[in-house]
């Protein structure tokens, strides 16, 4: 069981200010505004522990830095190849897909992550 330390509370409050999926650097910059004594190492360590404990989500994408998510429910993401933004996609989570992969290929599937890629509406409209 993880203790709810003051640092963890500060980190959770900072994460909740974002409507995006911030990186460690973005969270650290936000925390520094009101708590300059908290080190980047402390932020990084606590983010990892919060993610491992299921209190926040961690999004690891190929060729990108680790990002953190205040949502802990199972959901998908969309990454814009123009601005790099990472957004939540609110569609039904495909619960049965793990079993389908197991039945067809014999893999023991613990979970899955799907990230849709393309161009977000803001970037699409800015090109017009």
73-126 confidence digits (pLDDT tens): 989 999 999 998 999 999 988 889 999 999 999 999 988 888 999 999 999 877
pTM of the predicted model as reported, rounded to 2 decimal places: 0.82
Domains assigned to the chain: 6-69 (1.10.10.10), 76-126 (3.30.1490.190)
Question: Would you say 65 and 47 are in contact if contact means Cβ atoms under 8 Å apart?
Answer: no
Per-residue pLDDT of 20-67, as tens digits, reads 999 999 999 999 999 999 999 999 999 999 999 999 999 988 888 899
Q: Please calculate the CA angle 60-64-67 and round it to the nearest 5 degrees.
A: 45
Per-residue confidence (pLDDT) for residue 32, from 0 to 100 = 97
């Amino acid at each position: 069981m993880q203790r709810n330390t003051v640092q963890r509370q500060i980190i959770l409050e900072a994460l909740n200010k974002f409507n995006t999926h911030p990186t460690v650097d973005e969270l650290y910059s936000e925390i520094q505004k009101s708590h300059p004594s908290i080190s980047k190492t402390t932020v990084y360590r606590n983010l990892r522990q919060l993610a491992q404990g299921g209190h926040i989500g961690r999004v690891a994408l190929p060729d990108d830095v680790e990002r953190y998510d205040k949502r802990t429910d199972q959901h998908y993401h969309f990454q814009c190849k123009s601005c790099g933004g990472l957004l939540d996609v609110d569609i039904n989570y495909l619960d049965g897909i793990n079993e389908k992969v197991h039945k067809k290929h014999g893999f023991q599937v613990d979970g899955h992550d799907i990230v849709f890629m393309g161009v977000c509406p803001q970037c699409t409209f800015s090109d017009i």
